[in-house]
Structure 1
Amino acid sequence: MKTDMTARQETESGARQGGQVPKGQTGRRRNEVAVEMAIRYGLLAMLAGMIVLFAILEPFFISTRNVFIILQSVSIVALLALGVTATLVVGGFDLSIGAVAAMALMASSYVMVIWEGSTALAVVFCLFLGALVGFLNGVLIVKARIPDLLATLGMMFLLIGLQLIPTGGRSIATGMTLSDGVTAEGRFAEAFLALGRMRLFDVIPLPVVFMAVLGVALWFFLEKTRWGRVMYAIGGNEKAARLAGANVERYKIAAYMISGVYAAIGGILLAARVGRGDVSSGNSLLLDAVAAALIGFAVLGLRRPNAFGTVIGALFVGTLLNGLTMLNAPYYTQDFIKGVVLVLALVFTFGLRAGRR
């Protein structure tokens, strides 16, 4: 006499041989496919739906002019977010990017207006400062064994205070009076201002080109080179990567230097756009950049930091803010809405996948 389990096994075997699948298994398979599709394409579907909604409510939203306004506003945030992505890849996190961008903004303005330096000097000086700050962050983390959040938080406060000292807490502008009563005679060079204001073919803002080129460069470095794969290995399992022979400390320092340089480039472009060293211009960059980098985890269900997802995340945030602004949404609701969107994006990535287990 056959047991119930043996009979059930024969029934399932017969169903498979006859090309039939039990209804329960079919429904479960369909649910799994639906969840997988939601994980992979949910964020992109949200972005598309948001664009359609804003276009219906405000037709000017999808005009060519507004599209490039969005891209230009996104470009600097995306550069900072790409820097954060480089540190996330190695299992770290950089909270100093906003301060580095603000420092580069003030430093480039100081070189141009007070030192009366050239565009090349301003750019090289700021890139050097960004790399130096990244190097110091890396050393504090890998040599002094300070947790990355604490090390970069301390660096953030240090830079916020340091950038205000040379000018006594004042913004830098052409014709400003210095603390000794002397009037600054330097001015922003046209070549420098072109970095933030020039449009290729009178259509594409130059910062958008920088965003695209540097985004592709970081994507290629992380996804297609041996060094990028080693960085992912360090972020996945640092101990295993160390046992495999990877110089973990060197790679981590390099990741923070990449972050510092990308943040410095963002600060340079911001200074070139506004044409002054505004002490408050970089205040909101940190949160938007972090949001873009984290939203990037949800793009195509990768569940890991990646350059492509980060740029899409920045575009998502920029599109949302532009649409809300065009619809005259109160400014004090925008951070709340960004938070809601970030939570939903992470639910698509982690919550739905966890529910399948």
Structure 2
Amino acid sequence: MSEGTAQIGEKGKPASEALSPKELVRRGAVFFLLFALILIFGFAQPAFININNLMSILQAVSVVAVIGAGVTITLAIGGFDLSVGAVAASSVMAASYAMIVLDLNAYQTVPLVLAFGALVGLANALLIVRLKVPDLLATLATMFLLTGLQLIPTAGRSISVGLILPDGTKATGKVDPAFLTIGRSSLFGTIPLPVILMLVVALVLHILAERTRLGRLLYATGGNEAATRLAGANIARLKTFAYVLSGVLASLGGIIVAARVGRGDVSSGASLLMDSVAASLIGFAVLGLRRPNVLGTTIGAVFVGILLNGLTMLNAPYYTQDFIKGAVLVGALALTYGVSRGKA
């Protein structure tokens, strides 16, 4: 490419003039809103911008960001995984059951739970790829199946030390302290380990999706599956990879939750699906990419976390938070798509 060609931006304009004010607004919509939220909450409640509170926000959104990254990969192939919340909740129960009932340690429990997530993802892929069940229906069925299945071993009770099992016996195990460090420890006493895990997942998947041939094939599958197949890509393997990865990341999110609370709470995954999907959709607006991307999903999760934390600190009624969250999501997407409407 010649130097003169390299300096040409969109629609033949020089690179320095390629980005119009509307385009800048479109690309920076989420960042503008995020900055505005920080200013508003920080002005209304100075404790909001305290470093401990900011780290608390990042720790709270780490699970949503990790699970949302899996959803993003399935969106990239033109699919959608509705089972992630149920997988995460089941993983919370499975991890607690493994240690408290089966008396396993952390080094046995973590691989076992991650394998469970991979197995669920493989089952989703089997339904979608082999049996040709639409992805929404397949993962919805898996969601209902897991939601009921996780309650059966304990007869619907949460799992904690001293649990009385359905057969009348008492569980003798306990949560391994090494397992609790996953959700409760911090690097240098400041950065929570879940935040580090979130950043590692985001970085690895960003490189995978944006810088590798596999990532290009994943996006190509979502853009034009027929053309990608004709180009020689194995669509079945690509889709299987996406759903297995989504299941593993959902299980990782469940492990973080279990390590944080130290028990298997039957209601632990109640909002994880909707929050992770919201983060993934907000990710479309980051930098105006208008496509699923892991970096955008992570920023979207932080966006939602800052919004909810700020509303909580301002004592906003809990029943208004979902409405406000939805309104901000609509605003972010409207800025992203609406501003660019009418462009070539």
Range into which the TM-score falls when normalised by the shorter chain: over 0.9
Aligned with 1:99 (options 86, 89, 96): 86
Counterparts of residues 316-335 of structure 1 (less than 5 Å) = 316-335=303-322
Q: Does structure 1 residue 337 correspond to structure 2 residue 324?
A: yes
- The equivalent residue for 2:231 is 244
Aligned with 1:173 (options 160, 174, 195): 160
Q: Which runs of structure 1 show a deviation greater than 2 angstroms over 4 or more consecutive aligned residues?
A: 354-357
Counterparts of 2:238 and 2:127 in 1: how far apart (Å)?
Answer: 14
Cα drift, residue 230 of structure 1: 0.7
Q: SS state of the match for residue 353, structure 1?
A: coil
What TM-score comes out, normalization by structure 1 length?
0.90
Q: Please give the per-residue CA displacement for 1:276-330, whole angstroms capped at 9, x wherever unaligned.
A: 0000011110000000000000000001111110000000000000000000000
- The equivalent residue for 1:227 is 214
8 Å contact from structure 1 (residues 32, 356) kept in 2: no
- The equivalent residue for 2:268 is 281
Counterparts of residues 200-219 of structure 1 (less than 5 Å) = 200-219=187-206
Larger radius of gyration: 1
Q: Does structure 1 residue 131 correspond to structure 2 residue 118?
A: yes
Counterparts of 2:235 and 2:165 in 1: how far apart (Å)?
Answer: 46
- Percent identity between the aligned chains? 57
- The equivalent residue for 1:263 is 250
Counterparts of 2:19 and 2:66 in 1: how far apart (Å)?
Answer: 36
Cα drift, residue 33 of structure 1: 1.2
Counterparts of 1:266 and 1:111 in 2: how far apart (Å)?
Answer: 17
Aligned with 1:142 (options 129, 140, 163): 129
- The equivalent residue for 1:24 is none
Q: SS state of the match for residue 43, structure 2?
A: helix
Q: Please give the per-residue CA displacement for 1:99-135, whole angstroms capped at 9, x wherever unaligned.
A: 0000110000000000000111111111111001111
Counterparts of 2:253 and 2:200 in 1: how far apart (Å)?
Answer: 13
Cα drift, residue 233 of structure 1: 0.7
Counterparts of 2:251 and 2:73 in 1: how far apart (Å)?
Answer: 14
Cα drift, residue 31 of structure 1: 12
Aligned with 1:311 (options 298, 301, 306): 298
- Name the Cα RMSD after superposition: 1.2
Gapped runs of 5+ residues in structure 1? 1-29
Q: Please give the per-residue CA displacement for 1:138-186, whole angstroms capped at 9, x wherever unaligned.
A: 1111111111111100000000001000000000000111122221110
- The equivalent residue for 1:301 is 288
Gapped runs of 5+ residues in structure 2? 1-16
